Amino acid sequence: MHINPIQLFDADSSTFTYLLVAADGVSAVIIDPVDHHLERDLAHLQRLSLRLCYVLETHAHADHVTSAGRLRERTGAQAGAPSGCGIAPAELQLVDGDVVKFGEGEQIDVLHTPGHTAGSMSYLWRGNLFTGDTLLIDGCGRTDFQSGSAAALFDSVTHKLFTLPPDTRVWPGHDYHGQSVSTIGWERQHNARLARRSRAEFEALMAELHLPRPRLMDVAVPANQNLGLPHGV
Ligand SMILES: [Fe+2]
């Protein structure tokens, strides 16, 4: 059965949070929650009578702070994070090929997709691919800080994500243009940065971007490495 995630948005950082509800209608997983939407997200869980099993992070974000630690406290869920992102308090230190199970037979496949950061992961559930900042709709995440690598991102997307079935739905970590979902087939054909481009062309393109440093970076990355909780907690 095809199930879409519930897509939630943070207008301050243009971040998407995803609520995955199992076919049993009870078990749930949240991906990339944002700190100031904690009460909104808890209200969704309560309204739908959901039991939150896991809070997953795609990477240690530089542009917003996660609510994973507080969501965990309030719901009893466990936190899962890429093993290479330095998010020590997460119970699940995920590596490529891991499977996160929840509900009755639900499974989330963990795909290591380095490039935006060295540890970045994508998550695949029921034909829904949560790409974090690795692959965006008609774009991709930046690769110029946090151990980013344009070459690694190119390989992650073209060798790993673009080999998934074309009808795999792409649910990005951000969107700055008002789009919410795409497919692997569409992005493979039309993605403005990655489609029909060589690795060297992509590296040159990314080197020319000269993006400003994220406003919250010095605060957000250390906070996110502690699941958004004050250090020492
Ligand atoms: Fe990011």
For the stretch 115-136, pLDDT in tens is: 999 999 999 999 999 999 999 9
pLDDT tens digits for range 1-12: 789 999 999 999
What's the pLDDT score for residue 232? 62
CA gap 7, 180 in Å, rounded = 8
Question: CB-based contacts of 52: which residues, under 8 Å, 6+ apart?
Answer: 28, 29, 30, 45, 71, 75, 76, 77
- How much is the pLDDT for 98? 98
pLDDT score at 214: 87
Predicted local confidence at residue 215, as pLDDT: 84
Residue 140 Cα to ligand 1 middle (Å): 10
pLDDT of residue 2: 86
Distance 2 CA to ligand 1 centre (A): 28
CA 158/CA 106 separation, integer angstroms: 27
Q: What is the pLDDT of residue 233?
A: 53
Q: Please list the ranges in the chain whose pLDDT falls under 70.
A: 232-233
Residue ranges with strand state E in 98-201: 99-102, 106-112, 121-125, 128-132, 135-136, 139-140, 169-172, 182-183
Ligand 1 centroid distance, CA of 197 (Å) = 23
